[in-house]
Structure 1
Amino acid sequence: MSTIAERAAAAAGRTAEEPSSSQDAPAVEEFPPAPDPMAGYEPGDDDPDMVPVHLAWLRVRKEVRAIAKGEQYNGGGTRFNFRGVDTVVNTFGPVTLKHGVNVLPTQVDAEYRDTTTSKGNKMRECTVRVSWLIVGPKGDTLALQTQGEALDSADKGTAKAQSVALRVLLLTGGLTPTHDKDPDSSHVERGNEAPARSAESYRDEILDKKTSPSRLQQISYELANLRMLNTKVANENNDQETLDDLGRRIYGERTGGGS
């Protein structure tokens, strides 16, 4: 039995075309998969663990723990404590390096406007929106975005605003509290007030080789709040040394910065 297509072709004086088989279809060019950048990688003794970026960032947060408001602004009738960008970067920098985490700006959008101070001085206001990538040791990423704002009378407004955006990224992306007591620093005794931490216990923690540089910085903030920086203790050589000098010296030795 002929098909409708065959009868129509016969009426037109031609034959119906046979449907083409899949073998006659043009071959689709197959591209080789992209090379794996980690294919030939062999971890060295000092290399970070090859974990996903969210785990690497979690390790950074666990080691940083907290950054106190150890700096103070006092001007124009206003006084407040804050965490400066240098302090934040100095705390996060060595820890991110240890865990193989890179923090990279990928795009900066800036807006400017002219303004004046209350005394009539001309200033330039800069507001930036910065897109960031937190890159883990395996090359996978986390995308974040922060904003920063700054005033300047010269050409430093953009740099200041970007520094603020970086500080906001590290503090908010790291959920970094202002103070985090060491779990061994105190304990609760029923019926009595918890004893204050002794200078000798701080000395022992500073000298402990397991104490990280970021923890040494945090200890410095705690000692400043307790007004114990100038308290003298017997150091590892049994010489009298202030807790401030001891902490700075040990921090320098462990970060390669000298005393």
Structure 2
Amino acid sequence: MGLRENAAAAAGRTVATGDTESDEYTGTTAEPLPDLSDYVPKDGEDWDMVPVHIAWLRVRRDISWIGKGDAYVENGKKKYDFRGYERVVAAFGPITLKHGVSVIPHRVVPSHRDAKSGKGTPMREATTLITWRIYGPKGDFFEMESEGEALDYADKGTAKAQTIAQRVALLVGGLIPTGAPDSDESNIERGEAPVRPAASYLDEICNPHTSAGRLRQIHYELRTTRQLGALVTNEVGDEEPIGEMVVRIGKERAAGGAE
């Protein structure tokens, strides 16, 4: 019995045999996904009021396994199979409803940085650490953490990182075979992060509202990128090494504040 049949059985429905689903991205036929469009708990059907760890064990038992029914294709050639986000959520969705279990993000800690693809295209890397709360039918819960990482050319990196983190949490927290979950669904070759030019710091350095802590951080960033000796035009129009300029302005503001 496949995923769609398992989901239908949980909802008290049947699925006609021979149904397939076309993968629009790869153009291949993948394992059918469950149809959850009309699934709701039956009227009068009460959940067993068991502790959350028992309800979670029942979810794991009913799901049993999730196959690698999705394929990553590059230039018309399949590179590898994986268990995609939609496949995992489609498997967990009806079974968690059946047992009164909810999976809720409780704490999200994101981080971002600039990156480049192997071809030099600017990208944005998003990494997200999420603490999940697994609630049972009685309202008790336990927590687990997972992390997702994604690269994107536009504004979807954070959303991708969060969906990857959720997929990892469900597969690892549920001990769902088969195979290790892939951490990326797109085969992007990572390049080196771009170095910020020294001159781009001038507005911040000259801004009287820039804190002393930020000036020290700028000095550190310039030192790590070996740009302390880069010549820039300072606030009076003279050329000056940017590292010396940061130190000088920091001392001037410290002296002015002490008066």
Q: Where does the alignment leave 5 or more consecutive residues of structure 2 unmatched?
A: 1-42, 180-259
Alpha-carbon distance in structure 1 between the residues aligned to 2:62 and 2:110? 33
Q: Which residue of 2 aligns with 1:177?
A: 177
Alpha-carbon distance in structure 1 between the residues aligned to 2:139 and 2:126? 33
Q: Is the 8 A contact 2:116 2:123 kept in 1?
A: yes
Alpha-carbon distance in structure 1 between the residues aligned to 2:174 and 2:45? 24
Q: Which residue of 2 aligns with 1:46?
A: 45
Q: Which residue of 1 aligns with 2:126?
A: 126
**1:108 equivalenced with 2:108 (yes/no):** yes
Q: CA deviation at 1:47?
A: 1.9
Q: Secondary structure at the match of 2:163?
A: helix
Q: Secondary structure at the match of 1:73?
A: strand
**1:55 equivalenced with 2:40 (yes/no):** no
Q: Secondary structure at the match of 2:155?
A: coil
User: Which string of whole-angstrom CA distances, capped at 9 and with x for unpartnered residues, describes residues 191-229 of structure 1?
Assistant: xxxxxxxxxxxxxxxxxxxxxxxxxxxxxxxxxxxxxxx
Q: Which residue of 2 aligns with 1:86?
A: 86
Alpha-carbon distance in structure 1 between the residues aligned to 2:86 and 2:146? 18
Q: How does 1:64-79 map to 2 (within 5 A)?
A: 64-75=63-74, 79=79
Structure with max Cα Rg = 1
User: Which string of whole-angstrom CA distances, capped at 9 and with x for unpartnered residues, describes residues 75-95 of structure 1?
Assistant: 278711100000000000000
How many residues were matched structurally?
136
Q: CA deviation at 1:119?
A: 1.2
Q: Secondary structure at the match of 1:133?
A: strand
Q: CA deviation at 1:45?
A: 2.6
Alpha-carbon distance in structure 1 between the residues aligned to 2:156 and 2:131? 20
Q: CA deviation at 1:74?
A: 1.9
Distance change (3 Å), C-alpha of 1:78 and 1:125: farther
User: Which string of whole-angstrom CA distances, capped at 9 and with x for unpartnered residues, describes residues 158-204 of structure 1?
Assistant: 1100000000000000000028xxxxxxxxxxxxxxxxxxxxxxxxx
Alpha-carbon distance in structure 1 between the residues aligned to 2:178 and 2:71? 14
Alpha-carbon distance in structure 2 between the residues aligned to 1:51 and 1:143? 17
Q: Secondary structure at the match of 2:134?
A: strand
Q: Secondary structure at the match of 1:123?
A: strand
Question: TM-score, normalization: structure 1?
Answer: 0.51
Distance change (3 Å), C-alpha of 1:136 and 1:107: same
Q: Where does the alignment leave 5 or more consecutive residues of structure 1 unmatched?
A: 1-43, 180-259
- Structure 2 letter corresponding to 1:85: Y
Alpha-carbon distance in structure 2 between the residues aligned to 1:90 and 1:178? 16
Alpha-carbon distance in structure 2 between the residues aligned to 1:121 and 1:105? 32
Alpha-carbon distance in structure 2 between the residues aligned to 1:84 and 1:164? 9
Q: Secondary structure at the match of 2:92?
A: helix
Q: Which residue of 1 aligns with 2:216?
A: none
- Structure 1 letter corresponding to 2:108: V
Q: Secondary structure at the match of 2:125?
A: strand
- Structure 2 letter corresponding to 1:72: A
**1:164 equivalenced with 2:156 (yes/no):** no
- Structure 2 letter corresponding to 1:162: Q
Alpha-carbon distance in structure 2 between the residues aligned to 1:176 and 1:167? 11
Q: Secondary structure at the match of 2:97?
A: helix
Alpha-carbon distance in structure 1 between the residues aligned to 2:90 and 2:46? 21
- Structure 1 letter corresponding to 2:59: V
Question: TM-score, normalization: structure 2?
Answer: 0.51
- Structure 2 letter corresponding to 1:52: P
Alpha-carbon distance in structure 1 between the residues aligned to 2:78 and 2:45? 47
Alpha-carbon distance in structure 1 between the residues aligned to 2:45 and 2:169? 27
Q: CA deviation at 1:46?
A: 1.2
Q: Is the 8 A contact 2:71 2:78 kept in 1?
A: no
Alpha-carbon distance in structure 2 between the residues aligned to 1:59 and 1:130? 24
Q: CA deviation at 1:73?
A: 0.5
Alpha-carbon distance in structure 2 between the residues aligned to 1:160 and 1:46? 36
Q: Which residue of 2 aligns with 1:246?
A: none
Over the matched positions of the two proteins, sequence identity in percent amounts to: 54
Q: Is the 8 A contact 2:73 2:79 kept in 1?
A: yes
Q: Which residue of 2 aligns with 1:144?
A: 144
